[in-house]
Amino acid sequence: MKRGLPQSANILAARGARRSGRPPTFGGSAGLFCGRYLPLVNAPVFSYSAHMLVTEKLPNGLTLLVEEIPHLESAAYDLLIPGGILTDQDGHEGACSVLAELSCRGAGNLDSKALSDAFDDAGIRHGEGAATDRFSYRGSLLADKLPLALSLVGQMVLDPALPEDEIESIQSLMLQDIRALEDSPARKAMMELGLRYYPHPYSRSSLGTIEGITAATAAHLRTEWERLYRPDGAILSIAGKVDPQSVIAEVKKHFSDWQGTAVELPAYGTPPKHEAFHIHSDSAQLQIALAYPSVKFGDPLYYAAKVASGLLSGGMFGRLFIEVREKRGLCYSVYCRHHATMDYGTVVAYAGTTPERAHETLDVMVNVLRSVAGTVGAEEFARAKANLKSSLVISEESAGARASSNCSDYWLLKRVRSIDEILTQIDNVTPAEVDQYFATYPADSFMLLTLGAKKLDLPQTK
């Protein structure tokens, strides 16, 4: 659950994730440039490579990343621990999210109120949660409050109280979130598509299930904490106005006693057969959700895929918006997104329309997805790249964004990319590479999910 610290979506895949794992539209977490947002055209770009980044791996397996950014007055931390939704036991889907929230309901010698007050009194905005393959502890604060923040997070991770009397309220909030899907058909459609598109357990919803959340007992959560909260493979990223050597000493003070080997995450299996699914709903709206395979993170065509995504869905200049909404007025919302991890890449597309216009909406969407190659002019191509670069730079101008980006990069790559490196990769994408991307990963082999009063057929193979 989040406490004061908004969670961000990602734009360039290792960065945001917000985290890696399932894309936000599917209820999980990977992004465009992995935790980095990727628009002010011609925005000024300064070099981030001058910032001091120190990496150190502690004997217990915890990797520490510290980036000194002297011009800031703030600092931020981002701790990722292997585990999360993939590691929930069958029948207990959602337990990891309950556990992450319960860990901030008292720790060490602090009860729930005292721990909350300690954060609030210091002005520390923090959030705890579980993503597809990890637990996440994040916070933003004034730089001089970092030692206190590390102490509190250390207690939450190493010595959580996990009070039984707090579980019911957490379960109640999570169950409300699941039931609220009925009032958010677009969100429900994307979640239902994700449940069908990915192989088990990667298909699990980030919301968990009613049965799994209800089954989370104090004894089960304590067992899961002992099994999953291990330093091996964990990453703690800190950025802002900090002294790296002082931070390293402070981290060792609070985390050196943490011991244990990381849990092994399940392998990404064979995806299910791509079919058309329909969920009936007596609604005046029809939700259309599509998914098809795309490039993985780290593939040579990865950045070309990002530019292609910008061409298709770059705001009011994206081709889907222009062709489906502006020219024909077929829908109130339309977009596509590319999501990627080291294991898989996916393009998801969505439109909200009426049953009467549903067939035409789907036909135009698919035609647009298939017709970009070889048709992009110089001005359109430059605009798509400029928007990607501007969004990236703007999103990285806070300690929280830097801590999260560095952490996500290291999680996937075991190294941290500079913003200059990513900007150069975007600049180097050519129209020929974008055409090659569309040829290699054509808009085909769709999985289709519709939610509403009318069922649609799967688009024909190209």
- What's the pLDDT tens digit per position in 198-207? 999 999 999 9
* Rounded Cα distance, 92 and 229, in Å: 17
Of 95, 155, 78, the C-alpha closest to 411 is 78
Residues of the chain with CATH 3.30.830.10: 2-255, 276-452
Decide if pLDDT at 20 tops 90. Answer: no
Quick one: pLDDT band at residue 9, thresholds 50, 70, 90? very low
**Portion of the chain with pLDDT greater than 70, in percent:** 89
Cα separations in angstroms, 318 against 151, 347, 377, 380: 46, 15, 13, 9
Structure tokens at 108: 């060490």
Beta strands in 341-402 (DSSP E): 345-353
Give the amino acid at 41: V
C-alpha of 243 from chain center: 29
Structure tokens at 215: 């089954």
Beta-sheet pairing, 134-142 with 125-130: antiparallel
60, burial (CB in 10 Å: exposed 0-12, middle 13-18, buried 19+): middle
Is the pLDDT higher at 396 or at 96? 96
The answer to whether 358 and 454 have CB atoms below 8 angstroms apart is yes
Pick the CATH number of 2-255 from 3.30.110.30, 3.30.830.10, 3.40.50.2300, 3.40.50.300: 3.30.830.10
Claim: this prediction has a pTM higher than 0.75: yes
The pLDDT tens digits of the residues spanning 251-284 come to: 999 999 999 999 999 999 999 999 999 999 999 9
pLDDT of 51 = 63
pLDDT of 397 = 85
Decide if pLDDT at 34 tops 70. Answer: no
What is the sign of the dihedral through the CA atoms of 350, 354, 355 and 360? negative
CATH architecture of 276-452: 2-Layer Sandwich (3.30)
Q: For the chain, how far is it from start to end, CA to CA, in angstroms?
A: 43
The answer to whether 445 and 293 have CB atoms below 8 angstroms apart is yes
The pLDDT tens digits of the residues spanning 97-116 come to: 999 999 999 999 999 999 99
Of 268, 234, 197, the C-alpha closest to 27 is 197
The pLDDT tens digits of the residues spanning 117-169 come to: 999 999 999 999 999 999 999 999 999 999 999 999 999 999 999 999 999 99
The answer to whether 357 and 330 have CB atoms below 8 angstroms apart is yes
What's the CA angle centered on 67, arms 63 and 72, to 5 degrees? 145
Give the amino acid at 318: G
Decide if pLDDT at 379 tops 60. Answer: yes
Beta-sheet pairing, 74-82 with 134-142: antiparallel
Quick one: pLDDT band at residue 315, thresholds 50, 70, 90? confident
324, burial (CB in 10 Å: exposed 0-12, middle 13-18, buried 19+): buried
Q: From edge to edge, which strands make up the β-sheet containing 74-82?
A: 2-3, 125-130, 134-142, 74-82, 235-240, 63-68, 52-57
> In the predicted model, what is the mean pLDDT of the chain?
90
Cβ atoms within 10 A of the Cβ of 174, count?
Answer: 22
Of the candidate ranges 48-52, 311-315, 375-379, 452-456, the one whose mean pLDDT is the lowest:
48-52
Of the candidate ranges 32-41, 262-271, 428-437, the one whose mean pLDDT is the lowest:
32-41
Decide if pLDDT at 83 tops 60. Answer: yes
* Rounded Cα distance, 61 and 406, in Å: 18
